[in-house]
Structure 1
Amino acid sequence: MSSVREWPKTERPRERLIKEGAQSLSDAQLLAIILRTGSNGKTVVNTAIELIQNFGSLRGLDEASVGELKKFKGLGTAKIAQIKAAFELGRRVLSERAFEQVFNSAETVFRYFYPKLNGLKKEVFITLLLDTKLRLIREVKVSEGTLNQSLIHPREVFKEAVKESAYAIILVHNHPSGDPSPSDQDIDITKKLKKASEILEIPILDHIIIGNGRYFSMKERGII
């Protein structure tokens, strides 16, 4: 199989990125730039394609442990470190942007959280702590796993909000099924937390459920 160096310059990932921008490249081509070289007689692009296929998606690759990555033929310590570093940099960029973002709509919250929560196999319940300008103070993971009344207790939801003197909070969780429609339990938990928010005078601005490419806003639907 020919080396990437033998490809026309217009087809080489690095050259295309510089000329056309990173957005013009596929996931595999971007990953190929991070990996730099192929393995086992395969081009780096083919290696990248096989990696994504093996772990199912970029998220699957991100969530893979170092041990799981080592089982993939051709991935040594250096390449694994490069992959992990690239994903971590992406997360840090998202975190920096969050502090500049005004969380004043369900659409804004969805755009911020969808890349983080889409494809997860477990439900994750997160509280966004906001200041008076509706900018992020920080986000707090309250629980991970199937949501129930015992896990999502007002004490756990509001503890950090009180500590940080948050002006308001937004509740966010995902549905691994991809359907963001709320369950009866989702609605019951929200109403319970709403009562606690009124006592503490820390308003819940919304509870947003993230699904596959779409969301459900309890504020927009008049539930809170």
Structure 2
Amino acid sequence: MNNFNEPIDLRRLTLKNGLSYPNDKELIMLVLGSGTKKMPIEYMSEEILKVICSHNPENWLEKLQSIEGVGTSKALAILAALEFGKRHNRNPQAVVNQPQDVIPFIKHYAMQKAEHFVMVTVNGAKEILTIRVLCIGGKNMAVLKPSEIFGEAVKENASGIILTHNHPGGHAEPSDDDIETTRRLSLGCELLGIPLLDHIIITKNSYFSFLEHGLLPTCE
């Protein structure tokens, strides 16, 4: 960024590559448009993202207003953008019957330099309910607890879960740790009755589906 008020490079790259290019924090930067001298836009967006990802929606306004430099105006701008997206993203075709169906909704994570571990929840008709970043960084993924995943799915009344993460190195094949993490997390379905439908590894040019390769543990 050239300065805290103008994310010029981000705007240029987004215009060139499309709106699937920015990550979640950068999308917030585009909505904000500027930061303050004490709180540059990049740091402000990071704090806003933490609130959105870790707090109940009914507390978002209060939490956002408490961030340095945000205030009521910027907080409402963020919440209005989220509400607008929710209203206009009720696409009856957003149904996941095969791995390729979910790729368009998560492909932007393949651009990230760090591993992003993401949960997609679906209802009984396999329509996408939510897409949530659970953690960032391979080490954090290794210690992720089933309760952290399935607890959120229960709150959302989900009927199924799809896990996905990116491989920044460009190779989609799962590592031994990926296989073990999938096995460990799949045990949560036995406790809560919410099936793990797939674990998809994505890169810029390819993907790997545990379901398609017969590596997905089953809950019985």
TM range (shorter): 0.5 to 0.7
Where does residue 170 of structure 2 map in the other structure?
A: 178
Q: Give the direction of change, closer, same or farther, for the CA distance of 1:99–1:139 in structure 2 (3 Å limit).
A: farther
Task: Choose from 101, 104, 110 the match for 1:111.
Answer: 104
> What letter corresponds to residue 96 of structure 2 in structure 1?
F
CA distance in 2, matches of 1:108, 1:144: 23
Q: What SS does the aligned partner of 2:187 have? A: helix
* Separation in structure 2 between the aligned mates of residue 157 and residue 215 of structure 1, nearest angstrom: 22
Whole-angstrom CA distance in 1 between matches of 2:195 and 2:112: 28
SS in 2 for 1:96: coil
- Partner secondary structure for residue 215 of structure 2: coil
Q: Which residue of 1 aligns with 2:127?
A: 135
* Number of residues of Structure 1 aligned to a counterpart in Structure 2: 161
The one-character-per-residue Cα deviations of 1:127-168 (angstroms, maximum 9, x if unpaired) are: 111110001221221111124565321011111111122111
- What is the TM-score of this pair, normalised by structure 2? 0.59
On the 8 A contact 1:129/1:136 being kept in 2, the answer is: yes
Unpaired runs of 5+ residues, structure 2, are 1-7, 42-77
**CA offset digits 1:28-77 (Å, max 9, x no partner):** xxxxxxxxxxxxxxxxxxx99x944xxx96636984965799xxxxxxxx
Written as runs of structure 1 = structure 2, the 5 A alignment for 1:91-106 is: 92=85, 96=89, 100-106=93-99
Partner of 2:190: 198
Structure-2 separation of matches of 1:104 and 1:155: 26
Runs of at least 4 residues off by over 2 Å: 56-69, 97-100, 147-151
Alignment of 1:1-224 (within 5 A): 51-52=12-13, 59=21, 63=26, 92=85, 96=89, 100-114=93-107, 116-148=108-140, 150-224=142-216
**In the aligned structure 1, how far is the partner of 2:142 from the partner of 2:214?**
25
Amino-acid identity (%): 33
CA pair 98-143 structure 1, distance change in 2 beyond 3 A: farther
SS in 1 for 2:126: coil
Post-superposition offset of 1:190: 0.3
Q: Offset of 1:214 from its aligned partner?
A: 1.0
Partner of 2:75: none
For the structure 1 residues 205 and 63, does the alpha-carbon distance in structure 2 shift closer, same or farther, using more than 3 Å as the test? same
